[in-house]
Amino acid sequence: MLTGRFLAAAIFLLASASGPGIAGMAPDEPVAAPRSSSDSGAFKVSIGQRKVLLSTMSLDGVPYVSVKAMAAALGGTIKQGRHPGDLTLGLSGHRLLFSSDDPALVSLDSGAASISPAAKTLSGELYVPSEFITRVLSPLLEQEPPSSGGTRDARKLDVKIVGGEGSLRLVFDRPRAAAYEMKDANGELLLRIDDPATQPPYRSRSIGSPLLKSISFDSSPAGLTVRIGKGDDLGRATVFDLKDPNRIVVELEGGKNVPVGGAAVSDPPRTSGGASLPGPIRPSSTAFSGTAATARRGLRTVVLDPGHGGEQKGAEGSAGLLEKDVTLDTAQRLQKMLQKAGIAVTLTRTSDSDLSLVDRTTVANREKADVFVSIHVNAAPRRDARGAETYYLAYQSVDQEAADLAAAENASAGGAAAGLGAGSAGLVLWDLAQAEHLRESSELAQIVQKELNEALGVRDRGVKQAPFRVLMGATMPAVLVEVGFISNTSEESVLKSEEYRDKIASALARALLAFKAAYDRRQGAAPR
Amino acid sequence: MSRAFPDARAFLVAATAMTLPALLFPGSALATSSTSLPPPGSPPPAVGQPERREIFVLFPSGEDDLLHGQKRTIFWTSTVEDRAKQALAELISGPTEGLLPIIPADARVREFYLLPDGTGFVDFSRELLKVPGGSATEHLISGAIVDTLAVNFPQVRKLGILVEGEEIETLNGHLDTRLPVRPDPSILEPALAEMLKAGAGAGTEETEGTAAPAQEPSPQGR
């Protein structure tokens, strides 16, 4: 993707564009439309009285401007997501949301605009064509920014979009409970909220996710209708509500084969409060009742991930033992033990096959696992390294800010949702999904490590944190266990034996059951 | 190889010092490997023998799970990019004694870039991915690459690891390397960790002598 020449050109241009724009020196019109990628030019932005000169770089003959440089020149703020293409630009009270999911679209305060040609990322920076500035940004900046922040209208519906791999939740915070109904109508889901006082947060917004194309709102004297544009990959949509605060949650799940369920759903009796239900509407969706049960059901499903597989052999011992074989066999032993204890267990792979890291996490999310455990065997250059260790996810410091933000958002949303910024259509990136489960992941890691120490009597290497790819995006407590060192000849020889693998599996089973006990207790004591 | 054939290395250094600026500034006068860039437009001076300085190259040990420094001398050429490439070549060539090799010996650094914001990109040949398995190994490899640069060149604040020009998801199935990786003091012997922390405040501006360690770690296997 990044070729040497390409990068070299980018560096040259970045160096020349690194200063802030210079006001008052602007030539009249866009100065340059250079043809080769090694040319750069300048581009003038006029906003009211202000004129700012921005450096451009030419990509495929089109002048592009760095969003970061633009923000610096115009005094804006940047909130960078994990991918360079996921970025929120704040400018004079306006908010622009760029998403790597669809580089040809940007969400604005109250709608969306196209970016043509599409935005590009280069060496970790987002670039938009300079045409975008004249056509979209300048007119936007001359408008009044939307009222926001502290004086938010209590009647206004607040919308958050919460991501997970293979599923997406729309969380509508509403001022008061009222009856609602969702219908499936030709490429759209129509969610009617029967409260005339509820106001839309914005008119429409393009989202461009595979599950969710867009959201728009229609107000009428009877109430508010949310039009949810179905994405191409949308399988099932379900709706349910929560109390304190009042929320309606629409869950969108991937998988085209599953029909969209829930033709009509309303506030169920348990949450209807003072709102009276209109006559004919009945909760008809089985998915709905399933979701209602989810809140209290306790720990039921575990997904185990036998590390590596197929061409990815993983680590190899000096006697020829392969990590991928130990992990699969141990996971299968653990599966049987957990199933005996009444826990549903799915393995990410059941044979010696290749599976990408993302696909492993996806299995856990798709199965709606309550816990995800990835099983590995370690190796180190030093031959006498030995012992077991348990990891939970660390976001790299570069991502930590975003992770903290997601976690804080989640805390304030009472565990139901995480979003980026109240009132904004912030998309939480899949990678940040694990952020809201880190506390429980850490708890699980402690329990697992304790059981391994007691059962194996090997050196305690402790609980650690690292940016394991397979744990990112897991929407449940998730840990990665390194059960021992295959690079250590004595550990390799015990790892060969069925007896030792059983020991490991039963230690993990005990840990998961102990975690389940605490988990179920918490859910019983503080149901959502 | 480079230690056995110092002349070959001098040649390599001179060659990279000349080709890198040529790549970055096509059409501009060639920079040379002297310690300061000539003023624009002046004729390229003759290639002299640049100053040499000691740096620390990081390797795992047989005793603990940390990376330890081994001193190497590189040509203190005009650009950080070029010095970084020399440091990485030393890392790949492995330790002399006492410590353990960590990067596959046949891996090559194809290119190294440094952005003005302190983000470096090192582009390795595909042999880098022949790393043996194990998350502990993977952690040491990325640590050795990133921290060797960060300890010696505070200008490098984070490092993207590319293979054959492409971003990689992980080195071998464990740690996320899709985005630039920050230096990690937790896998360094204490004195080097201190150096790294001290250097982290040094900013992105190139300051001559930043690589001269204020504190001497205890290099092994000299």
Give the C-alpha separation, B131 to A84, whole Å: 28
Question: Mean of the per-residue pLDDT values for chain B?
Answer: 78
**Does residue A10 lie within any of the structural domains?**
no
Helices (H), A323-437: 323-340, 357-366, 397-412
User: According to the model, what pLDDT value does residue B48 have?
Assistant: 64
- Identify the weakest region by mean pLDDT among A429-438, B167-176, B209-218: B209-218
Using a CB-CB cut-off of 8 Å, the residues of chain B touching A1 are 165-167
Would the pLDDT of A289 be above 50?
Answer: no
Percent of chain A residues past pLDDT 70, beyond the cut: 71
How does residue A50 score in pLDDT terms, banded at 50, 70 and 90? Answer: low
Q: What is the per-residue pLDDT for A31?
A: 33
Query: A59 and A166 share a domain?
Result: no
pLDDT at A164: 56
Cβ contact A466–B175 (<8 Å): yes
Query: What CA–CA distance (Å, rounded) separates B151 from A158?
Result: 48
Same domain, A409 and A516: yes
Helices and strands of chain B, counted as H and E runs = 4, 6
Q: Which of A6, A7, A16, A358 to mutate to test the interface with B (most CBs of B within 10 A)?
A: A7
- Contact residues on chain A for B108, CB-CB shorter than 8 A: none
DSSP H helical ranges for A240-379: 286-294, 323-340, 357-366
Are residues A379 and B132, on separate chains, in Cβ contact within 8 Å? yes
How many Å lie between the alpha carbon of B100 and the closest alpha carbon of chain A? 7
| Alpha carbon of A284: minimum distance to chain B alpha carbons (Å) | 43
Q: B157 vs chain A: nearest CA distance in angstroms?
A: 11
Domain CATH number, residue A82? 3.30.457.10
Residue A45 has what pLDDT? 66
A9 located within any domain: no
B135 in contact with A, Cβ within 8 Å:
yes
For position A131, what pLDDT does the model report?
83
Write down the pLDDT at residue A137: 81
CATH code assigned at A286:
2.60.40.3500
pLDDT at A276 over 50: no
Name the nearest CA neighbour of B189 among B68, B72, B88: B68
The residue among B206 and A195 whose pLDDT is bigger is: A195
State in Å, rounded, how far the first CA of chain A is from the last one.
45
Return d(Cα B85, Cα B80) in angstroms, integer.
9
Is residue A45 situated within a structural domain? Answer: yes
- Note the pLDDT of residue B173: 94
Residue A145 binned pLDDT confidence (cut-offs 50, 70, 90): low
Q: Are residues A137 and A172 in the same domain?
A: no
Set of chain A residues whose Cβ sits within 8 Å of the Cβ of B63:
382
Any idea how long chain B is? Answer: 222
Mutate to test the interface with A, among B61, B167, B179, B187 (most CBs of A within 10 A): B179
Q: Is A47 helix (H, G, I), strand (E, B) or coil?
A: strand
A313 CB neighbours in chain B (<8 A) are 133
State the Cα–Cα distance between residues B182 and A396, nearest whole angstrom: 7
Is residue B90 included in any domain, yes or no? yes
Do residue A357 and residue B24 have CB atoms under 8 angstroms apart? no
Taking the CA of residue A502 and the nearest CA in chain B, the distance in Å comes to: 22
Distance from CA of A385 to the nearest CA of B (A): 8
Q: Are A124 and B135 an interchain contact pair (Cβ–Cβ within 8 Å)?
A: no
In a domain, B211, yes or no: no
Interface probe with A: pick from B24, B115, B157, most Cβ of A within 10 Å: B115
**Residue A7 maps to a domain:** no
Contacts of B59 (CB under 8 A, 6+ apart): B67, B68, B70, B91, B94, B95, B99, B100, B101, B102, B144
Assigned domain for A436 exists: yes
Measured between CA atoms, how close is B193 to chain A, in angstroms? 17
> Using a CB-CB distance cutoff of 8 angstroms, which residues of chain A are in contact with residue B182?
396-398
Q: Which residue of A has its CA nearest to B120?
A: A123
pLDDT band at A263 (very low <50, low <70, confident <90, very high): very low
Residue A5: its chain B contacts at CB < 8 A? 23
Sign of the torsion formed by the C-alpha atoms of A388, A373, A309 and B128: negative
Q: Given a cut of 50, is residue B209 above it in pLDDT?
A: no
| H/E run at residue B142 | helix B135-152
pLDDT in tens, A351-372: 999 999 989 999 999 899 999 9
- Give CA–CA dist B23/B17, Å, rounded: 10
CA distance A10 to chain B (A): 9
> pLDDT tens digits for A296-331?
478 999 999 999 999 999 999 999 999 999 999 999
Range of the domain at A245: 153-294
The pLDDT of A62-73, averaged and rounded, is 84
Distance from CA of A81 to the nearest CA of B (A): 12
The predicted structure's pLDDT at residue B24: 44
pLDDT at A325 (0 to 100): 97
Confidence of residue A483 (pLDDT cuts 50, 70, 90): very high
Contact A379 B180 (CB under 8 A): no
- A270: buried, middle or exposed (CB in 10 Å: 19+, 13-18, 0-12)? exposed
What tokens does A418 get?
């995480």
Residue A116 in any domain: the answer is yes
Per-residue pLDDT tens for A279-288? 333 333 322 2
B192 pLDDT band, cuts 50/70/90, is: very high
Q: Which of B140, B174, B179, B196 has the highest number of chain A CBs within 10 A, making it the mutation to test binding with A?
A: B174
- Nearest chain B residue to A356 by CA distance is B173
Residues A503 and A403 in one domain: yes
**CATH code of the domain in which A388 resides:** 3.40.630.40
**Average pLDDT of chain A, as a whole number:** 74
Closest chain B C-alpha to A89 CA, distance in angstroms? 19
Whether residue A368 sits in one domain with residue A349: yes
Q: Which residues of B touch A326 (CB under 8 A)?
A: none
Total domains in chain B come to 1
DSSP class of residue A273 equals T
Which residues on chain A are in Cβ contact (under 8 Å) with B135?
376, 378, 391, 466, 468, 480, 482
Query: What is the dihedral angle through the alpha carbons of B30, B36, B42, B45, rounded to the nearest 10 degrees?
Result: -70
Cβ atoms B100, B70 nearer than 8 A: no
Is residue B17 over pLDDT 70? no
Which of A247-251, A443-447, A466-470, B106-110 has the lowest average pLDDT? A247-251
User: Quick one: pLDDT at residue B62?
Assistant: 93
pLDDT, tens digit, for every residue of A389-434? 999 998 764 445 555 555 555 544 433 333 333 222 223 356 677 8
Domain that holds residue B143: 6-33+51-200
Q: Are B60 and A381 inside 8 Å of each other by CB?
A: yes
pLDDT computed for residue B217 by the predictor: 52
Give the pLDDT confidence score for residue A84 in this predicted structure: 81
For residues A136 and A157, state if they share a domain. no
Q: How many CB atoms sit inside 10 A of residue A139's CB?
A: 12
The pLDDT value recorded for residue A154 is 52
Q: Per residue in A369-403, is it b (16+ CB within 10 Å) or e — as a string? A: bbbbbbbbbbbbbbeebbbbbbbbbbbbebbeebb
Domain for residue B124, yes or no?
yes
Q: Could you tell me if B164 lies within 8 Å of chain A, comparing CB atoms?
A: no
Report yes or no: B37 at the A interface, CB cutoff 8 Å.
no
- A158 versus A274: the higher-pLDDT residue is A158
Q: What residues of chain A lie within 8 A of the CB of B19, using their CB?
A: none
Nearest CA in chain A to B113: A8
CB contact under 8 A, A1 and B166: yes
Count up the domains in chain A and report the number.
3
Q: Across the interface, do B175 and A313 touch by the CB < 8 Å criterion?
A: no
The CA distance from A167 to A475, in Å, is 10
What CA–CA distance (Å, rounded) separates A507 from A170? 39
Percentage of chain B beyond pLDDT 90 is 56
Interface contact A485-B136, CB threshold 8 A = yes
Closest CA to B166 of A290, A3, A399, A124: A3
In a domain, A13, yes or no: no
pLDDT at A489 over 90: yes
Give me the pLDDT at residue A234, please.
83
Establish if B106 belongs to a structural domain. yes
Q: Is B173 on the interface with A (CB under 8 A)?
A: yes
DSSP tag of A271: G
Q: How confident is the model at residue B110 (pLDDT cuts 50, 70, 90)?
A: very high
Contact A4 B123 (CB under 8 A): yes
Average pLDDT over residues B21-33: 41
Specify the pLDDT at position A220: 80
- Nearest residue of A to residue B176, measured between CA atoms: A469
Q: Is some CB atom of chain A closer than 8 A to the CB atom of B166?
A: yes
In this prediction, residue A426 carries a pLDDT of 28
Is the Cβ pair B63, A18 closer than 8 Å?
A: no
Residue A211 has pLDDT above 50, yes or no: yes
Which residue type does A496 have? K
Q: Does residue B44 lie within any of the structural domains?
A: no
**Residue A234, min C-alpha distance to chain B (Å):** 27
Q: Could you tell me if residue A210 is left (phi over 0), alpha (psi between -120 and 50 degrees) or otherwise beta?
A: alpha
Verify that A313 and A270 share a domain, yes or no: no
Q: Which residue has the higher pLDDT, B193 or A166?
A: B193
Whether A326 and A272 share a structural domain? no
DSSP calls for A326-347? HHHHHHHHHHHHHHHTT-EEEE
A376 CB contacts (<8 Å, ≥6 apart)? A307, A308, A314, A323, A327, A480, A481, A482, A483, B135, B174
Stated as kind and residue range, the H or E segment containing A375 is: strand A371-378
Residues A282, A409 share a domain:
no
Put simply, the answer to whether B179 touches A485 (Cβ < 8 Å) is no
Q: If 0-12 CB within 10 Å is exposed, 13-18 middle and 19+ buried, where does residue A24 land?
A: exposed
A506 located within any domain: yes
B207 assigned to some structural domain: no
| pLDDT for B126 | 96
Cβ neighbours for A72, distance < 8 A, ≥ 6 positions apart: A20, A21
> Are residues A474 and A326 part of one domain?
yes
User: Which residue spans within B104-213 are E strands per DSSP?
Assistant: 109-114, 119-124, 158-163, 166-167
The answer to whether the CB atoms of B167 and A1 lie below 8 A apart is yes
* A360 and A273, same domain (yes or no): no
The answer on A75 and A93 residing in a single domain is: yes
Whether residues A124 and B119 touch (CB distance < 8 A) is answered with: yes
User: Which pLDDT value is given to residue A135?
Assistant: 80
Rounded to a whole number of angstroms, the distance from the CA of A39 to the nearest CA of chain B is: 11
User: pTM of this prediction?
Assistant: 0.55
Q: Is the pLDDT of residue A66 over 80?
A: yes
Query: Do B192 and B58 touch, CB atoms closer than 8 A?
Result: yes
% of residues, chain B, pLDDT over 70: 68
